[in-house]
Each structure stands twice: as structure tokens, then as C-alpha cells.
A and B are shown apart, each in its own frame.
Chain A
């Protein structure tokens, strides 16, 4: 007589920090490859990194407007990418790659939008982005501030 025991038990736990960072970098790379390169025609040096952009701004204050607009547009695209994929599929491409999923307490797009608003890179949302890593390191459940505010969490499924 066969016992009616579950074959597999799945629990959701905290993903490793390195996986979250790696997934985020992978997502940035994807967005940059798909949409970011368009901005090189208006701002050739922004792709060179923050230090190059800072030097460029210092030397050419006249381009501050372009830099602001590019950053805003870039932020908007990041929010779209992260929020839509997390809402529709539960994970972005980078998160899929590292087996991370996003869960929300309440159904609906709003939670995912709020979770990713800090990526807009404008005040006051950027403050949340700055505090996110501190929250991940300080909290027992490793949730970022943006996750606490949006009632969401990045999880990894562990099967037994």
C-alpha cells in the first residue's frame, strides 16, 4: 500500500544577497542593451559611467538639461520594465536567471509600481533607492525599504 505523501515540499525563503545584486545588474544590462543605447546620440558619454558623466557636467554645465532628461527617461523605462514583468510574470529576466520571484501581499499592478518607483532616480524616490541596501542588510527578513513600503518581497523557492 502506497503512502499518500507529497512528493515535493516547496517553501519561499530569502534569496541570497549576491543573487539579488547579480539579477539587478543583469536587468540593467538588458534595459541598457534594448533601450539605453538610443540615448548615446544625445548624450554620448553617459554610457561611460557616473564619473565620466560628473566630469562632463562639470566641464559643460550647458548640458545639464539633457542629462536630467536622459536620466528621467531612463528611470521611466526601468520602472516600466521591472514593474510590468514582475506583475505579469513574477520576475524580471535577471531574476528568472537567478531563480528569484517577487510576491505581493495584495494583487494588482499598484504594488509592483510602488515597489519600483525609486528607479525613477528623482527626488524623493531616489532616497528610497539609497536606503534600500541598508534595509536589506539591517532587517531580519532582508526586505528593502521599497519592498516594505509596497508590501512586496523578493523570494526564492526552496524545494524539499
Chain B
């Protein structure tokens, strides 16, 4: 038997209403389960903490170069992203880690801006110099183009407690820089040479990135840190300001309305667990001092 027309349309309306309500309900449920997905055309990649290639423990403020590079590459691969802002708040870090991030940012085919917050010094400044434009607060700490490999010498303390260092090495420089004996003059020269080489690479990179002459970079690369207001005059920073100025530069350059979206590595549950476990593990250092850009 044929259904009356009115019944037919009642069924249609009921089904559509149910779909409308269920669609709303599911969307709220998904938002709760997975969170709203932020989109935008400007990726903000945080570089916060001391920059290293691997994690030093659970409670340390460490910016892992691998994670930062991953976010930069993800933002570069996303066609919706037109520009990348590095939100830098870091005193620097290890040379290789800093170089890795700087190389990744220089490979990006989009507009890049460094927004230096509290500090963007040393290795963090190396990274900032690889961007197209640097914005810093007048009171930000920046510059500090230098390298240090200083460490504590415990040999005197050990002698006081009648603890001796039994030297067992193959290769006369293998334990250069261990903190349990004094450096020889030859070893000191050797370590200084390595540090100087790192400094040279650092200076060359910054000079190239910022379009500076040899004499200009030599004058600035003394390891001295500069406040934002000083760095602007010295040509290390392009504009004084903060996030709005960084976004403003992008809007002026690309003629777009900037919609920032955060690109940040979210540790998985397993990563958090492994970091926690690693914090209890004694770290074994094979030999040598650990150089840090400073």
C-alpha cells in the first residue's frame, strides 16, 4: 500500500532532524576527544630552552633540534602555511644542534621570521640569523656570538680526598678534557683550536646570513651579549617589538592577513615515560669537554 504523501514528508523531516542533531553531537564529541584543529597561514615554531640534539633528562628545559626541525619541515610542507615564525626564548646550546635548526630554516622556501623573546643568544642567535627578518624586544638578550668549553677541574678536590685518577687510554688525547686531571699545555692548545674553529664557523654563518663583512662580524663576535636595543643599532636585529611586529612584517611582505597557528612537538605518552626513565640513568661521557655556543 502506498504511503500517504504527508507521512512521507514527515519521515523525511524527522530523518533530516535526527541527522542534524547527531552531526552536532558527534562534532562536539570529536572536539572533546581530539581537540579543535587550529589552522592558519603562519606557523609559530617555539625554540625554548637550551638547544641540544638529544634530551638531557625529564625536568630540564631542553629544545631538541630534531623536534624543531620536524616542525619546521611540517610547516614548510603544508601548502596553507605561507610563513614561519620562530618564537625564540633560548640562551643557546650545542653547535651541531644549533646548526641543524639553522640549516633547516635556511632550506625553507617561505618567509621566515625570528621573534626573540627573553633571550635569543649564541646558538639561538645563529638560528635567528638564518631567518629573513629578526624581531626582538628592546630588552631581549641576543648576540653572544662565541663558543665556550669551560669545565670544572676536580683534580684538586680529588687529591684532598685521596682519590686518584688512574689513566688508562689508547691514543694520547683520548681523555683530553676529563675533569679529573689538569690539562697539559698541549691539550689546552688543542681544545682551544677546536673551539676557535667552531667560533669561525659560527661567525661565517652569521656573517653570511646577515650580509655582514668580515670586519663587521669580527667586531660583534666577541661573545658579548647585546640587549635588543643595542643589537638593532649593531645590525643584529631588524626591528624592535614582539609577536605583532613579526606578524606585521609577514603581512606587509606577503600582503596577507596573518593567522598564526602553533607548530609544537607534543610528546607522546611513551616519550614522556622514556624521558622519565632516562632521568634516572647515569650518563656516560666517553671523553672530552662538551662545547657550547655562548
Contacts and interface: CB of A to CB of B under 8 A. Distances in A.
Interface residues of B, number: 31
B37 A59 contact: no
Interface string A34-48: 111111011111000
A85 to B, nearest CB: 6
Given A31-B19, A80-B22, A62 B266 contact: yes
A41 B23 contact: no
A139 interface: no
Interface string B164-199: 000000000000000000000000000000000000
Nearest to A55: B79
**Residue in B19, B31, B74, B266 with the greatest tally of chain A CB atoms within 10 Å:** B19
B34 interface: yes
Nearest to B18: A80
Nearest to A37: B23
B26 A38 contact: yes
A84 interface: yes
Given A41-B36, A55-B79, A58-B77, A81 B30 contact: no
Contact of A56 (B24, B30, B33, B78): B78
Interface centre among B12, B34, B36 (most CB of A within 10 A): B34
Contact of A34 (B8, B23, B27, B34): B23
Nearest to B34: A66
A136 interface: no
A81 B18 CA distance: 9
B255 interface: no
Interface stretch (A69-77, A114-122, A149-157): A69-77
Nearest to B263: A60
Interface in A58-95: 58-63, 65-66, 69-70, 73, 76-77, 80-81, 84-85, 88-89, 93
B59 interface: no
A56 B75 CA distance: 10
Contacts of A44: 37, 39
Contact of B23 (A36, A56, A84): A36
Interface string B21-58: 01110110111011111010000000000000000000
A35 B74 contact: no
B11 A38 contact: no
Contacts of B36: 41-42
A85 B30 contact: no
A38 B24 contact: yes
Nearest to B16: A34
A66 to B, nearest CB: 4
For the complex of A and B, the 5 pairs showing the least CB-CB separation, nearest first, are A35-B23, A59-B78, A73-B26, A38-B27, A66-B34
Given A34-B23, A35-B20, A41-B27, 17 more contacts: A34-B19, A35-B22, A37-B23, A42-B27, A43-B37, A45-B80, A55-B79, A58-B77, A59-B74, A61-B74, A65-B34, A66-B35, A69-B30, A69-B34, A73-B27, A81-B15, A89-B11
Interface of B: 3, 8, 11-12, 15-16, 18-20, 22-24, 26-27, 29-31, 33-37, 39, 74-75, 77-81, 266
13 contacts: A35-B20, A39-B26, A42-B31, A42-B37, A56-B80, A61-B74, A63-B34, A66-B30, A66-B35, A69-B30, A69-B33, A81-B19, A89-B12
